[in-house]
Each structure stands twice: as structure tokens, then as C-alpha cells.
Amino acid sequence: MLTAEDKKLIQQVWGKLGGAEEDVGAETLWRMFCSYPPTKTYFPHFDLAQGSDQIRGHGKKVVAALGTAIKNLDNLSQALSELSNLHAYNLRVDPVNFKFLAQCLQVVLATRLGKEYTPEVHSAVDKFMSAVASVLAEKYR
Ligand code: HEM
């Protein structure tokens, strides 16, 4: 459950990315593909070289979706409903992979934010990404 303080911290963190969304998305995906190679099997149609146009383009989409989620923290199920359908019915992404993406995003944020990435921010982002993952996986049941 996200507290009011968690929500504030998540919104602040996102505000600090200002303009770097595409980089953050691309770095997150690149880390995921390197650290958890089986995740690459969902992207056989992509050029998976570091910084490829497809990784950058997709990274931007993922970060934009998280931005939408952040604007709808009290209404995540509805805000992410289409994406939930896509990942469950069309893409059939095994939900375990959502944790891998979340983990990689945390590392990217930590390396960018340095000292500003406090344990409280870490915890808030962790709760947020768990909430997003459970919405993206809820159609599997
Ligand atoms: C597509 C978001 C996790 C695999 C997408 C799209 C978005 C998105 C916004 C584009 C939808 C569109 O074009 O209409 C997210 C978010 C995630 C997440 C917010 C978790 C926080 C994952 C994970 C995997 C995955 C963990 C697999 C390891 C895919 C694939 C596509 C896709 C294969 C289609 C790519 C293409 O062909 O263009 N996702 N995703 N997603 N996602 Fe996810």
C-alpha cells in the first residue's frame, strides 16, 4: 500500500528525470537484457544492441507508461488496463519478468540520483513497481 509520503517521493523522483525519460528507459531495458538474458526472448524482432533505436523507442514507451501510472496512483488498474491486456493476452509475458524490470529501473535511478536516492525513495519506488506489476499481471488469474 502506497502511503501519502511514498506517493510524494515517487512524484518527486519522476520530476527529477526531466527530459531524460528515453535514456532512463533505454538504460533500464539494456540492464534487463544483460542481467536477465531470458527476457530477450520476448523481443526476437528487436535489434538488441546497446542504444539501438528500438531499445530507445521502447524504453521511452515504458517510461511514459510509468509516468501515466504515476499520475493515476489511486486508480492504477484502470489507468493500466490496456497494457495489462496486452501483456497477459497478447505478449504472454511471464510475471516474474516484471520484477526484473523493476530491479533494473531501481539501479538506473540509483546511479542517476546518487545521494538523492535515499532508502525512503528506494522503498517508495519498490512499492510503486510492485503495484504496477500486480496490475500488469492481474489478467493472468
Ligand atoms: C510493450 C510497458 C514490462 C515485454 C509494451 C508497451 C508498453 C509497455 C507501454 C508498448 C505498448 C504499445 O505499443 O501499445 C511496460 C511496463 C512494464 C512492462 C510499464 C513493467 C513495469 C515488460 C516486461 C516484458 C515486456 C517485463 C518482458 C520481459 C513487452 C513486449 C512488448 C511490450 C515484448 C511489445 C514490444 C513491441 O513489439 O513493440 N510494454 N512493459 N514488458 N512489452 Fe512491456
Q: Rounded to an integer, what distance in angstroms lies between the CA atom of residue 140 and that of residue 84?
A: 9
Cα–Cα dist 36/42, whole Å: 12
pLDDT at residue 33 is higher than 70: yes
Please choose from 30, 55, 87 the residue to mutate so as to test ligand 1's pocket, defined by most ligand atoms within 8 A of CB: 87
Contact between 99 and 61 (Cβ < 8 Å) = no
140 has pLDDT over 90: no
- Residue 141: its pLDDT value, please? 64
Positive or negative CA dihedral for 71, 73, 74, 80?
positive
Average pLDDT for residues 67-95, to the nearest whole number?
A: 95
Say what the pLDDT of residue 120 is. 97
Three-class secondary structure assignment of 71-137: HCCCCHHHHCHHHHHHHHHHCCCCCHHHHHHHHHHHHHHHHHHHHHCCHHHHHHHHHHHHHHHHHHH
Q: Rounded to the nearest whole angstrom, what is the distance from the C-alpha of residue 124 to the centroid of ligand 1? A: 22
For the chain, the maximum distance between any two Cα atoms, rounded to a whole number of angstroms, is 41
The pTM for the full model equals: 0.96
Residue nearest to atom 14 of ligand 1 (CA): 83
Which residues does ligand 1 sit against, CB inside 6 Å? 39, 42-43, 58, 61-62, 65-66, 83, 86-87, 91, 93, 97-98, 101, 132, 136
Cβ(104)–Cβ(124) below 8 Å: no
The conformation of residue 14, written as its DSSP 8-state character, comes to H
Question: In angstroms, rounded to a whole number, what is the distance separating the alpha carbons of residues 12 and 44?
Answer: 35
